[in-house]
């Protein structure tokens, strides 16, 4: 019993939680007000993204998310293969503007994401009802140094606060000292849930009829998967927040426990002309009728949220 309690204490002690959530009731503050910089580090250099799949996901669903991560680093090239514009990579470039405003010298190293390990937990090792502590335990399974560990929970997994107040979250954890290394450090993590059966009207809009607010017909999901295409929207938002506010002292507005960040400062905006209940003027695939605003790897199309552009003090969209 003593050994078990010691393990629990150690698990809790190594985590220094700094949560930022993609909330359901995000409010738009004065868009002319710049997100404040709190003098902390931003993610920089070469960062690997580890995907931790919890529960059951189809191979096609894993491919959608993997292709999105790969798309972040696909730079437009003058020679084939050329990335079709507007692209996921060009959407991500807006985050680079935050680095120019940072006083942290390490932030001058350009951030580069790459897809690394994919860890499968199809046996629901922690059950089908997860708490925040469970999310941290799952996030710790990925590499800690120069990494962002992304926990993805399947449609049949309930998570604390999911659908009630949030669609996903990001934070940081203090990793303990390891053998031959007397230095402790932090790693960043993200959690996103598949809302297809639990709350698509909240966390997969605009691919599902909203359960509250102005009503408009749902859009056709670009990869024909309401739940996972919705996950990509939330993951994109949280990765932008992770890059520019990884440890709770980067760029944000409001209280640290519920901050407005690079993407959450522009909720519900995907294209020009957006207003509550209307995602904006988007591109439409002529063969499928699907709405999107970004091209990605392997011919994928994605719908990505607007990012707050600190150089123009406005929400920047691809289309």
pTM: 0.88
Q: What is the mean pLDDT of residues 62-72?
A: 97
Give the span between the Cα atoms of 210 and 208, in whole angstroms.
Answer: 6
Q: What is the mean pLDDT of residues 80-104?
A: 83
pLDDT of res. 82:
55
Mean pLDDT of the chain: 86
> Which residue carries 């402790």 as its tokens?
184
Give the residue with greater pLDDT, 111 vs 76.
Answer: 111
Other residues' Cβ atoms within 10 Å of the Cβ of residue 2: 6
> Which residue carries 């904006």 as its tokens?
280
Give 251-308 pLDDT, tens digit per residue: 999 988 888 999 999 999 999 999 999 999 999 999 999 999 999 999 999 999 999 9
Give 184-236 pLDDT, tens digit per residue: 678 899 999 999 999 999 999 999 988 877 778 899 999 999 999 999 999 99
Which range has the worst mean pLDDT, 18-22, 62-66, 149-153? Answer: 18-22
Q: What is the mean pLDDT of residues 154-172?
A: 96
| Contacts (Cβ under 8 Å, ≥6 apart) of 107 | 41, 42, 44, 99
Other residues' Cβ atoms within 10 Å of the Cβ of residue 17: 17
Integer CA distances (angstroms), 104 to 41, 100, 245, 280, in order: 6, 10, 13, 36
Give the span between the Cα atoms of 205 and 207, in whole angstroms.
Answer: 5
| Contacts (Cβ under 8 Å, ≥6 apart) of 37 | 101, 102, 103, 250, 251
Q: What is the 3-state secondary structure (H, E, C) of the chain?
A: CHHHHHHHHHHHHCCCCCCEEEECCCCCCCCCCCCEECCCCCCCCEEEEEEEEECCCCHHHHHHHHHHHHHCCCCCCCCCCCCCCCEHHHHHHHHHHHHHHCCCHHHHCCCEEEEEEEEEECCCCCCCEECHHHHHHHHCCCCCCCEEEEEEECCCCEECCECCCEEEEEEEEEECCECCECCCEEEEEEEEECCCCCCHHHHCCCCCCCCCCCCCCCCECCCCCHHHHHHHHHHHHHHHHHHHCCCCCCEEECCCCCCECCCCCCCCCCCCCCECCECCCCEECCCCCEEECEECHHHCEECCCCEEECCCCEEECCC
Other residues' Cβ atoms within 10 Å of the Cβ of residue 289: 9
Radius of gyration in angstroms for the set of CA atoms belonging to the chain, rounded to a whole number: 19
- Extract the tokens encoding 69: 């991560």
- Extract the tokens encoding 114: 């790459």
Q: What is the mean pLDDT of residues 29-41?
A: 71
């Amino acid at each position: 019993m003593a050994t078990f309690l010691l393990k629990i204490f150690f698990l809790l002690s190594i985590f220094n939680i700094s949560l930022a959530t993609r909330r359901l009731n995000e409010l738009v503050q004065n868009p002319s007000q710049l997100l404040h910089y709190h003098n902390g580090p931003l993610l920089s250099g070469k960062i690997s993204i580890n995907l931790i799949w919890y529960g059951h996901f189809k191979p096609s669903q894993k491919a959608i998310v993997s292709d999105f991560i790969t798309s972040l680093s696909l730079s437009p090239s003058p020679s084939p293969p050329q990335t079709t514009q507007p692209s996921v990579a060009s959407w991500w470039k807006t985050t680079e503007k935050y680095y120019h405003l940072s006083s942290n010298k390490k932030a001058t190293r350009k951030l580069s994401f790459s897809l690394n390990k994919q860890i499968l937990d199809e046996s629901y090792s922690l059950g089908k009802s997860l708490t925040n502590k469970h999310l941290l335990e799952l996030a710790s399974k990925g590499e800690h140094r120069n990494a962002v560990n992304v926990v993805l929970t399947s449609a049949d997994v309930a998570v604390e606060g999911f659908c009630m107040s949030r669609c996903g979250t990001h934070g940081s954890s203090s990793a303990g000292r390891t053998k031959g290394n007397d230095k402790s450090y932090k790693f960043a993590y993200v959690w996103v849930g598949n809302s297809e059966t639990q709350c698509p009207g909240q966390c997969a809009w605009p691919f599902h009829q909203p359960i509250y607010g102005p009503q408009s017909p749902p859009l056709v999901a670009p990869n024909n998967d309401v739940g996972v295409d919705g996950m990509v929207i939330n993951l994109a938002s949280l990765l932008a927040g992770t890059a520019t506010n990884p440890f709770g002292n980067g760029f944000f507005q409001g209280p640290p426990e519920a901050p407005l960040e690079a993407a959450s400062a522009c909720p519900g905006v995907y294209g020009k002309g957006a207003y509550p209940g209307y995602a904006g003027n988007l591109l439409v695939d002529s063969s499928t009728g699907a709405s999107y605003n970004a091209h990605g790897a392997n011919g994928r199309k994605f719908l990505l949220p607007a990012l707050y552009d600190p150089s123009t003090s406005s929400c920047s969209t691809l289309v």
